[in-house]
Structure 1
Amino acid sequence: MKIIKYVIACLVTLMSTSLWASQLTPEQESAKTRGLTLFNQHKAISAEPFLTIAAEAGDREAQFYLGKAIQFNKRYMTAEARKWYTAAAEQGDMYSMYQLAYNGNDLCHAMGNCPRGTRTAREWKDLLINTATPLTEQGDGEAMYMMYLVTGDLDWLKKQAKPGFPFKPYWLAIRYDNDECFIFPPWQRSDRIKELYKEAAEGGYPVAMYYYADLLQKSGDLENARNWVVKSAALGYESTFLEYAYGLSDPSNKWGFQVDYVKSYGLMSLLLELNGGGNVLSFVNEELPRIAKNLTPEQIEEAKKIGAEWKATHPPLSFFPQKLGF
């Protein structure tokens, strides 16, 4: 649907037409899923070959993330990263347009040796605006978020949008939480922030669930706070999953979880796969022996089964990195 909307926008503005992605085979789809999982676990190097399979097949999401992985691994916008961003942008991917507009390199234009048809950063920005504008008029929250990034106008985040993009209210809550904008009357700031986190949490964004749960816990609503922690953990968000797994082995945990050392050990063990970023691995390696002291060998085996069952029935663990951040 977004590709169709992109084509319409381009025809209206007399700009380029989009390229159509081919249908992925089961093998290509599996490679894409594996690549995205690895990328979201901060394993960008390992993700590249899997994302390449789907990107070469024409999948625009894989093309964007491949460009992002290459850019991250090389620490700058390489020609290869730009190639994949361009492929995705030509199919209507607004995030790729943004990368090319704000993180691209116009050196070839300055030197006059760009490949024929290469757009300038300004042209990519214009295409992004022309793509997002008609979508905002239809209530598309993602397009409103992109317009906020382009213009810096916070009103884009405040506009009413159709459900489906919970990152928008989450990001507005972050802006308020960081005192980056004014709320009138000012004494309603905390209530407004809580409302936005709740909206984003109810929209299905696991990171917002964690923030909302924290506010509920601080207000003394432990039952609802626990429910949101479990919901977020079930979706694989590393921070809430860690809180949940650890809380099950801490009698004084702030969430009020009942101690279950067996389940705690089983879930905590799953975090060992997050060895691509952060301090998760060192923390888990310290905590597992502590939890194991409360278990018999038979209980440890039971814990391993609990972990295996969870992994088989839930989404993979993820840091949920922002699409335009690393």
Structure 2
Amino acid sequence: MTRSNAISRISLRISMVFILCFGFSAWTLAALTPVQQAAKERGIMLYNQYKPAEKELRIAAEAGDAEAQFYLGEELRHKHRHMTAEARSFLEASASQGNLYAMIRLGNSGSGLCNVLGNCPAGFKSQEGWLREALRISKEQAAQGDPEGLYILYKVTGDFDSLIKSAEAGFPFAQYWLAQRYHNGDGFFWLPWQRRQEIERWFKAAAENGHPQAMVEYAVIVYENGGDMPVARHWIEESAKTGFQIGVAHLATEHAHLRTYFGFPLDLVKGYGLMSLLLVLDVGGGTLDSTKHNLIEMIKKMTPEQIEQGKAFALEWQAANPRPISFFPMMLDPLDSF
């Protein structure tokens, strides 16, 4: 069975941030109050669930938090499906505090209307200016062997060698994307098995460094290779513990025996409880219908008592694994073109 066919059959589709600019001195270097910090955390949670997060993120962003400013800029950009003036202002505020991801987003999103009209204010940094700034800083970090700096350098320049160095230095996002690049045919290998070996190596490394998507990918590789099923089951369960939607969905359907690839024992109570956790993803992501369908199929096999036990198990799981259920969207998704 080919990798692509196996992923299709198992329904695995991988659908994590991090005072140079004029005009934002009131928004910089702020310490958040407990209320503002709570709003920021909730806003990021909602953003990762593809739910409206503007109200919560704005509280921390307007208080000067660079990370919240980045997320709010992205939220506004996605909401309007283009780079609005307000989205740009928050991304510039974040970038002015050194957020390299904001710099890259600005560098890849055009220079704004004022650049087109030729009437930009003094101190305005152009698209090319932000990319130069990100390049300068990431080069400095990369020269010191900083793993994330090497990854940012790759994001700015596309230099494949920087991605490899970042992965070798242990940065999980680089390890995940290196595996994906190899899977997509990038890089040179004398023999096919060498490519497969490197894909497995880097998905495994990213999984061990806490990357939820990589955990699922590595479990699939173990399954495809007819390998150690306890290892595959371990990584599906670890992914679910992070709150990653695909990991939770797989663990739930495996325990309910709606699908049986990894050999989990039948446990309708666990399956129902885990699947019910995904009901929180009721706005974006397109998973709500399948979640409801799976719950209906489970209920057909369950007694009322088991259903109540499943609800109790869901609460126990949340208490033991408090990270919110999430789609874990990639930062600076390469498929994100607007």
Q: Same fold (TM over 0.5)?
A: yes
Q: Distance in 1 between matches of 2:281 and 2:69?
A: 24
Picking from 260, 263, 269, the partner of 1:253 is 260
1:241-270 CA distances to partner (integer Å, 9 max, x unpaired)?
A: 100011101176101000100111111111
Deviates more, 1:257-266 or 1:141-150: 141-150
The answer to whether residue 146 in structure 2 is matched with residue 140 in structure 1 is yes
RMSD: 2.3
Query: CA, structure 1 residues 310+130, in 2 after alignment: closer, same or farther (shift >3 Å)?
Result: same
The aligned counterpart of 1:39 is: 47
Q: Distance in 2 between matches of 1:99 and 1:324?
A: 7
Q: Distance in 1 between matches of 2:205 and 2:254?
A: 26
TM-score w.r.t. the length of structure 1 is 0.90
Q: Distance in 1 between matches of 2:259 and 2:180?
A: 29
Query: CA offset at residue 115 of structure 1?
Result: 2.8
Contact residue 150 and residue 166 of structure 2 kept, 8 A: no
Contact residue 217 and residue 255 of structure 1 kept, 8 A: yes
The AA in structure 1 aligned to 2:213 is V
Contact residue 157 and residue 168 of structure 1 kept, 8 A: yes
Contact residue 139 and residue 161 of structure 1 kept, 8 A: no
The answer to whether residue 208 in structure 2 is matched with residue 231 in structure 1 is no
Contact residue 28 and residue 93 of structure 2 kept, 8 A: no
The aligned counterpart of 1:89 is: 95
Q: Distance in 2 between matches of 1:236 and 1:298?
A: 26
The answer to whether residue 179 in structure 2 is matched with residue 173 in structure 1 is yes
The aligned counterpart of 1:301 is: 308
Identity of aligned residues (%): 44
The answer to whether residue 116 in structure 2 is matched with residue 110 in structure 1 is yes
Contact residue 237 and residue 318 of structure 1 kept, 8 A: yes
The aligned counterpart of 2:33 is: 25
The aligned counterpart of 2:155 is: 149
Q: Which runs of 5+ in 2 are unaligned?
A: 1-16
The answer to whether residue 287 in structure 2 is matched with residue 280 in structure 1 is yes
The AA in structure 2 aligned to 1:307 is A
The aligned counterpart of 2:81 is: 75
1:152-183 CA distances to partner (integer Å, 9 max, x unpaired)?
A: 22111111567563000110110110113323
Which of 1 and 2 has higher RCO (CA within 8 Å, sep 6+)? 2
Number of aligned pairs?
314
Query: CA, structure 1 residues 154+184, in 2 after alignment: closer, same or farther (shift >3 Å)?
Result: farther
